[in-house]
């Protein structure tokens, strides 16, 4: 483990092995930061995303679960990070119904513990916390901003809502530089396979390659705002580089139906999705309505960040990465 140097600024990423953690690590290394990241288990199998980006040897991995205060305090005192990014936690809405306690602890309690560790640090670092559009629920009719009514409708949303409010409370009461990026969906080739977007991309590629006949999906009418993950981590860093801490919506501002995602994925492999996709009631989630429209005006004007990759391009990139991975696996197997 390398000791913090006086010359290089250190950034701590909690949840570095996840999609956003990997891209953020690459971005911060590019900016000259020394990057330290936490993982519950620093086993090599967990570091696949970092390896894919070619940076697994350039970051320091610290085993930490964020479930206890003391190790966090020790880590922050030892590494003296300038900035901390809290991207760790159970990140699936569907799984949160089965694991409500773990979801709450890994999202809300961990945020509270991190804020306390920051508050009591000798040199309090700046803190970014990953929020979620799920805090707004599915019943809002007007475009949402960070001041919109919160209406969490599942255990994941409830945990994110709590974390969002705790960050605001600490900012107000203790004057900390802490803020939440209210993240709408964002994807990339590093999105875990359990998410429907990756299932669609994998399914379209497998059908095009003749390995699979059909793809079974639930409700295709629900709307989401999908962006390109590598762009979102740039916004996270920008939020910690401002003069004052403020929460921002991170979204494209252009929602699409899941059907459009499916159509784009099949089009990218030269197929018509209607010939291959079968509706399967087992995958319909009754409480999984459409997300509200994101207002991105403040983000554009005050943060100076805009998502530039829109859905068709995002899907093309995911499909191309999947096809390239599949081709590499076939070459290895031959
Ligand atoms: P990922 O699921 O890819 O990564 C999250 C990381 O958190 C994992 O790599 C894992 O690291 C750690 N983690 C997972 N479960 C737990 C748990 N129960 N307790 C503690 N740590 C856990 O998420 P993303 O990178 O996609 O998202 C980053 C953040 O942004 C998350 O907080 C997510 O909720 C939020 N967000 C993401 C959106 C998206 O579209 N991607 C949309 C809205 C919000 P390890 O196993 O190494 O410990």
Q: For residue 274, is pLDDT > 70?
A: yes
Residue of 15, 103, 134, 294 to test ligand 1 pocket, by largest number of atoms within 8 Å of CB: 15
- Report how far residue 248's alpha carbon sits from residue 235's, in angstroms, rounded to the nearest whole number: 9
132 has catalytic annotation? yes
In angstroms, the Cα distances linking 220 to 41, 112, 132, 206, 259 are 36, 37, 21, 20, 5
Mean pLDDT across 274-293: 87
Helical axes 311-333 vs 258-268, angle rounded to 10°: 50
Considering only CA atoms, which residue is closest to atom 31 of ligand 1? 87
156 has catalytic annotation? yes
Mean pLDDT across 109-138: 97
Residues in the ligand 1 pocket, defined by CB under 6 Å: 15, 17-21, 39-40, 46, 65-66, 87-91, 102, 106, 130, 132, 183, 185-186, 192
What pLDDT does 273 receive? 97
Residues 167, 87, 240: CA angle, nearest 5 degrees: 60
Considering only CA atoms, which residue is closest to atom 18 of ligand 1? 90
Three-state DSSP state, 281: helix
| Catalytic residue from among 62, 79, 134, 260 | 134
Mean pLDDT across 157-163: 98
pLDDT band at 321 (very low <50, low <70, confident <90, very high): very high
Mean pLDDT across 41-65: 92
Q: Which atom of ligand 1 is nearest to the CA of 20?
A: 25
5 has catalytic annotation? no
Q: Whole-model pTM?
A: 0.95
What pLDDT does 3 receive? 45
pLDDT band at 2 (very low <50, low <70, confident <90, very high): very low
Q: For residue 1, is pLDDT > 80?
A: no
Q: For residue 283, is pLDDT > 90?
A: no
Q: For residue 282, is pLDDT > 80?
A: yes
Mean pLDDT across 74-99: 96
Ligand 1 midpoint to CA 14 (Å): 9
Q: For residue 177, is pLDDT > 80?
A: yes
Q: For residue 78, is pLDDT > 90?
A: yes
Q: Which atom of ligand 1 is nearest to the CA of 19?
A: 25
Ligand 1 midpoint to CA 271 (Å): 32
Ligand 1 midpoint to CA 88 (Å): 5
What pLDDT does 76 receive? 97
pLDDT tens profile 225-260: 999 999 999 999 999 999 999 999 999 999 999 999
pLDDT band at 284 (very low <50, low <70, confident <90, very high): confident
What pLDDT does 291 receive? 86
Mean pLDDT across 189-205: 95
Q: For residue 40, is pLDDT > 90?
A: yes
Q: Which of 80, 188, 78, 91 is nearest to 132 (CA)?
A: 91
pLDDT tens profile 220-232: 999 999 999 999 9
Q: For residue 323, is pLDDT > 70?
A: yes
What pLDDT does 327 receive? 76
- Report how far residue 47's alpha carbon sits from residue 258's, in angstroms, rounded to the nearest whole number: 30
Residues 193, 199, 200: CA angle, nearest 5 degrees: 150
Mean pLDDT of the residues in the chain: 94
Ligand 1 midpoint to CA 173 (Å): 28
């Amino acid at each position: 483990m390398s000791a913090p140097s006086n010359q290089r600024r250190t950034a701590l990423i909690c949840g570095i092995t996840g999609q956003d953690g990997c891209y953020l690590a690459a971005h911060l290394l590019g900016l000259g930061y020394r990057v330290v990241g936490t993982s519950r288990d620093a086993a090599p199998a967990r570091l696949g995303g970092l390896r894919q980006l070619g940076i697994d040897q350039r970051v320091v991995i610290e085993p930490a679960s964020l479930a206890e205060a003391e190790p966090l305090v020790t880590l922050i005192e030892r590494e003296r990070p300038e900035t901390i990014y809290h991207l760790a936690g159970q990140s699936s809405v569907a799984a949160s119904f089965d694991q409500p306690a773990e979801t709450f602890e890994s999202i809300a309690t961990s945020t509270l513990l991190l804020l306390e560790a920051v508050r009591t640090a000798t040199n309090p670092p700046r803190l970014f916390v990953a929020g979620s559009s799920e805090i707004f629920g599915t019943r809002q009719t007007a475009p949402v901003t960070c001041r919109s009514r919160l209406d969490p409708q599942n255990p994941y949303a409830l945990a994110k809502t709590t974390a969002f409010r705790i960050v605001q409370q600490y900012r107000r009461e203790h004057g900390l530089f802490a803020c939440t990026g209210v993240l709408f969906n964002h994807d990339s080739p590093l999105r875990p396979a359990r998410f429907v977007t990756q299932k669609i991309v994998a399914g379209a590629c497998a059908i095009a390659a003749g390995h699979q006949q059909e793809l079974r999906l639930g409700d295709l009418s629900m709307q989401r705002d999908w962006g390109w993950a590598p762009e979102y981590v740039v916004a996270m860093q920008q939020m910690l580089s401002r003069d004052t801490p403020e929460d921002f919506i991170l979204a494209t501002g252009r929602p699409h139906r899941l059907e459009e995602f499916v159509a784009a994925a099949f089009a990218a492999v030269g197929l018509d999705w209607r010939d291959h996709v079968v509706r399967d009631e087992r995958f319909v989630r009754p409480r999984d309505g459409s997300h509200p429209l994101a207002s991105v005006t403040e983000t554009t004007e005050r943060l100076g960040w805009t998502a530039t990759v829109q859905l068709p391009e995002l899907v093309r990139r995911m499909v191309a990465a999947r096809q390239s991975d599949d081709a590499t696996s076939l070459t290895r197997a031959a």
